[in-house]
Chain A
Amino acid sequence: MMASALIALAFGAARSLEMSLVQSFPLPYAVMPVMLIAGIIVLHRVDLVLGIAWLVMMSVLADPWGEGATTVVPFLAAAVAAVPLEQRIFANRSVYALLGMGLSLQFVVVLTAVIMAAAHGLWSDTALFGHGFLTARIYETIMLLLGLYGGAAAFWRLSQWARRTFFLHA
């Protein structure tokens, strides 16, 4: 249960890091999705349920695209898709599985957003998302993969430290 508390602590830290530090960087560094990277690592390496909770709470509390409440639906779709992806397709704990998981979830999120935007366009003259939305997602995907690659190694070291310090096995 200590793991849940530490993951919650990591959630708060990742939120502050992304919204205060990373968002102050110039583009394209500012699109580094710190919370999403950490969430996918939690989902794949620590606990599926906590990872899903992370994704859902992140979409509600952190507004990950700066587009308001519309962001919640794509991330809920990703949380649903994460279950079969984690249990059946990317079940092993390799870095490649982690990268595959991240790419697949990003695909689900963007696809859901595109479907929503297309549906919204049927009855509204205004665009649901900003003009540079897809371009930002492309940069974000590249940063996501780089972040997951680096994050996997950092997580391994961190988990080793946590095991020694808190006797955790997550």
Chain B
Amino acid sequence: MPRAWYSNEKVLVNLKRLAIFIACVVAYLLLRQIPIVAGADAWTRHQLVRLGTSFGGAVARLVASEESLATRLAVCEERRATLTTDNAELQALEREVYELRGLLSFTQRANRDGTAARILARSVGGTTTVTVDQGTRQGVTEGMAAVIGDGLLYGTVTTVGESTSVVRLTTDRASAIPAAILGERRTIGLVHGKEGALLVMEFVPQDADIAVDDVVVTSGLDGHMPEGLIIGTVSDIVAQESAPFKQAIIEPLHDPREWSTMFLLPSTAGL
């Protein structure tokens, strides 16, 4: 009598391997729910983010100018003898201190309560979302503004877990931030993520008095986002004479990949 396909020894071995693999991955995900494991996991992943951020910055500086590549190479070779892993750690710490100083300056100036958060992971592509190490336990709620440096808007909290949260960056296509262009007059509208690293404010009335280099800030009109957080500056204005509206192309003042810490602001009154 022929045996059923699933009783074939090879199939059973494969199924067993598959089951163990899936069980281990699920166990890994479940273990990360335990606070002590979650803490260790968050620490490890943030160190990777810090390492990547500092190393990425160094690589970007190295390849930024081909003209000075030979000079930089010579300098690097000279340094190679003396650089150690402590130096890399020092650079990461320096960057973190720079970021935290900016946040501290912002919190002192704005006199606001909030939660400092560290990036644990970034979405692939790097311009849509980041996962941070603060969640409901630390009082994080959906709609909170994520701020970097001295009051630059980084994104908004969209999903909150017990000990982690997801921040949607302003550059994400799904992002919509109530904003105001500070020109001769204040022009309000919604700022969306555009392709690449740019942002766009659509449906700006043709008679709105805006110009290139005008500063764009949050308007706070949705009741969640604090008012006055800097989004970027107007880099271009797209207008068609026959159309009732024009578009303002906005350039953010930061590169999302360069930051590994941020400040989550509660959704209350303006600055």
Q: Using an 8 Å CB-CB cutoff, how does the interface string of B20-39 with A read, 1 for contact, 0 for none?
A: 11111100110000000000
The reply on A19 being an interface residue by CB < 8 A is yes
Interface residues of A in 1-38 (CB under 8 A from B): 1, 3-5, 7-9, 11-12, 16-27, 29-30
Among B21, B46, B53, B59, the residue within 8 A (CB) of A29 is: B59
Q: Is the beta-carbon distance between A50 and B59 smaller than 8 angstroms?
A: no
In the bound complex, CA of A131 to CA of B128 (Å): 14
Chain B residue with Cβ nearest A6: B24
> Chain A residues with Cβ under 8 A from B53's Cβ?
24
Among B20, B60, B173, the residue within 8 A (CB) of A5 is: B20
In the bound complex, CA of A66 to CA of B24 (Å): 25
The reply on A53 being an interface residue by CB < 8 A is yes
Chain A residue with Cβ nearest B123: A66
Tell me whether chain A's interface is mostly helix, strand or loop, or mixed. Answer: helix
Could you say which of A20, A62, A67 has the most chain B C-beta atoms within 10 Å of its C-beta?
A: A20
> Chain B residues with Cβ under 8 A from A29's Cβ?
56, 59
Contacts A23-B52, A26-B257 known; A63 to B195 CB distance under 8 Å? no
The reply on A57 being an interface residue by CB < 8 A is yes
> Chain B residues with Cβ under 8 A from A16's Cβ?
44-45, 48, 121
The reply on B16 being an interface residue by CB < 8 A is yes
Interface residues of A in 43-73 (CB under 8 A from B): 47, 49-50, 53-54, 57, 61-67
> Chain A residues with Cβ under 8 A from B46's Cβ?
20
Chain A residue with Cβ nearest B60: A26
Q: Is the beta-carbon distance between B28 and A22 smaller than 8 angstroms?
A: no
Q: Is the beta-carbon distance between A25 and B56 smaller than 8 angstroms?
A: yes
Q: Is the beta-carbon distance between B257 and A47 smaller than 8 angstroms?
A: no
Among A1, A11, A21, A61, the residue within 8 A (CB) of B48 is: A21
Q: Is the beta-carbon distance between A25 and B195 smaller than 8 angstroms?
A: no
In the bound complex, CA of A17 to CA of B55 (Å): 14
In the bound complex, CA of A49 to CA of B173 (Å): 36
Chain A residue with Cβ nearest B54: A24
> Chain A residues with Cβ under 8 A from B56's Cβ?
24-26, 29-30
Chain A residue with Cβ nearest B194: A131
> Chain A residues with Cβ under 8 A from B14's Cβ?
47, 49
The reply on B218 being an interface residue by CB < 8 A is no
Q: Is the beta-carbon distance between A47 and B17 smaller than 8 angstroms?
A: yes
Q: Is the beta-carbon distance between B25 and A57 smaller than 8 angstroms?
A: yes
Q: Is the beta-carbon distance between A24 and B123 smaller than 8 angstroms?
A: no
> Chain B residues with Cβ under 8 A from A54's Cβ?
21
Chain B: minimal CB distance from A8 (Å):
3
Q: Is the beta-carbon distance between A25 and B124 smaller than 8 angstroms?
A: no
The reply on A132 being an interface residue by CB < 8 A is yes
In the bound complex, CA of A61 to CA of B122 (Å): 13
> Chain A residues with Cβ under 8 A from B121's Cβ?
16, 19-20, 23
Among A12, A20, A30, A50, the residue within 8 A (CB) of B18 is: A50
Q: Is the beta-carbon distance between B59 and A25 smaller than 8 angstroms?
A: yes
Q: Is the beta-carbon distance between A132 and B196 smaller than 8 angstroms?
A: yes
Chain B: minimal CB distance from A14 (Å):
11
The reply on A130 being an interface residue by CB < 8 A is yes
Contacts A4-B17, A29-B56, A66-B128 known; A57 to B123 CB distance under 8 Å? no
In the bound complex, CA of A20 to CA of B50 (Å): 9
In the bound complex, CA of A87 to CA of B51 (Å): 40
Among A25, A50, A131, the residue within 8 A (CB) of B55 is: A25
Contacts A4-B20, A9-B24, A30-B257 known; A131 to B122 CB distance under 8 Å? no
Chain B: minimal CB distance from A133 (Å):
9
Which A residues contact B (CB, under 8 angstroms)? Answer: 1, 3-5, 7-9, 11-12, 16-27, 29-30, 47, 49-50, 53-54, 57, 61-67, 130-132, 136
Given contacts A20-B46, A25-B257, 19 further A-B contacts (CB under 8 A): A1-B17, A4-B17, A18-B124, A19-B45, A19-B122, A20-B45, A20-B49, A20-B120, A23-B52, A23-B257, A25-B52, A25-B56, A25-B59, A30-B125, A30-B257, A53-B22, A54-B21, A131-B196, A132-B195
List of 7 A-B pairs having minimum Cβ-Cβ separation, nearest first:
A24-B52, A8-B24, A131-B195, A66-B125, A20-B48, A23-B122, A19-B121
